[in-house]
Amino acid sequence: MKTNLRKFRFEKGDLSQQELADLVNVSRQTIVAIEKGDYNLSVKLALLLAEKLGTTVEELFKLEEKDYV
Amino acid sequence: MFKWDKLSWIAAGIFISGVILGILNNYFFGLMIAAYLLRPTLLAFGGGKKYADERQSAIQFQSGNISLTVVIVAMFILNIVEESEGGPGDKYNGIIILALATKAIVGLIMLRDYKTAGFRTGFFMGLLLSLFILFSAGFQPFGFLIASPGFLIILLSWLGLKKPMLVAVVFVVFGFAAGIWRALFFANNLPFEANALTTLLISIPLLVTAFFFYKGAQAEKGEKTELAAESGN
């Protein structure tokens, strides 16, 4: 899964990972893992992130070829 | 690493109390474990959701599975060591069964499939009881005769899939009867471990099975009411 979280974080006034983590009530390590693509987050957290960053889940996360296997 | 939050402070408080108590006696280890287990236990029981990080919860789940396997392997090794020292070699089997049964039953409860949970609990309890008696008394007619309560429990568990409420009542009676019978005739002659194990492996599973069948019957009733309401619309 390709993630644009980092891009949207910077577009939203250079939010730090910790600031974003606090906004959605998770740890900074969880944001790091999502940005690296190491963690498949829940729908709830995806929706919360999209809402806080003023975008949509589809803009934040995109499926890649390997995800269809 | 976890976010440092209110739960972390509580855990730290318990840990420090453990260290202070450690100066006074040897029970400090229990408190230190309690401090460590505070968060995952709370989360597992649906508490402290405000402090739950979903990735950390997923990691807790995976590490919990690994630690279960490690503990079970350790129990097997302890059994082997005990046997090599002339002991019975099955001292830790009860703990292994307890761990596996808890995992299986909790899984079924979370699926909210109470009737299947009742059937499996009763079936495996009956099977273990029959096998335990047969291995002790031998696979001969007398062995099969005294193992018959185990076969009856298996049969009733299967019947519970069709008549859950009736079987729930029968298992409640069996569960209390087994507890009273043990208390009257065996409690004073058996060591504490044997008493606890018998209660754990016979009376409690019977009552748990009864509870599952009762909940299964209730769920069935609810489904029928819902279906009737839907067809009425």
- Judge contact between A3 and A34, C-beta under 8 A: yes
- How much is the pLDDT for B46? 73
The arithmetic mean of pLDDT across residues B132-144, rounded, is: 87
Element (H, E) at B12: helix B6-24
- How much is the pLDDT for B2? 58
Whole-model pTM over 0.80: no
Rounded to whole angstroms, the Cα distance separating A3 from A64 reads 10
Chain length of chain A: 69
- Say what the ipTM of the complex is: 0.75
Put simply, the answer to whether A25 touches B55 (Cβ < 8 Å) is no
| CB-nearest partner of B55 from A25, A33, A44 | A33
Rounded to whole angstroms, the Cα distance separating B34 from A34 reads 31
- How much is the pLDDT for B3? 65
- Judge contact between B7 and B39, C-beta under 8 A: yes
For B139-161, what is each residue's pLDDT tens digit?
888 889 988 989 999 999 999 99
Q: Among residues B37, B110, B107, which one has the least CA distance to residue B67?
A: B37
Name the residue type at position A3: T
For A21-45, what is each residue's pLDDT tens digit?
999 988 888 999 999 988 889 999 9
Rounded to a whole number of angstroms, the CA Rg of chain B reads 22
Q: What percent of chain A has pLDDT over 90?
A: 64
**Phi, psi at residue A2, to the nearest 5°?**
-85, 135
- The size of the A-B interface in CB pairs under 8 A is 28
For B74-92, what is each residue's pLDDT tens digit?
999 999 999 898 888 777 8
- Residue linked to tokens 């009763």: B122
Q: Among residues B144, B150, B135, which one has the least CA distance to residue B201?
A: B150
| CB-nearest partner of A27 from B50, B56, B58 | B56
Question: Chain B interface, mutation test: which of A5, A19, A23, A30, most B Cβ atoms within 10 Å?
Answer: A30
- How much is the pLDDT for B80? 92
- How much is the pLDDT for B158? 95
Question: What are residue A2's DSSP bridge partners?
Answer: A62
Rounded to whole angstroms, the Cα distance separating B119 from B124 reads 8
Name the residue type at position B51: Y
Range ranked top by mean pLDDT from B34-38, B194-198, B207-211? B207-211
- How much is the pLDDT for B136? 84
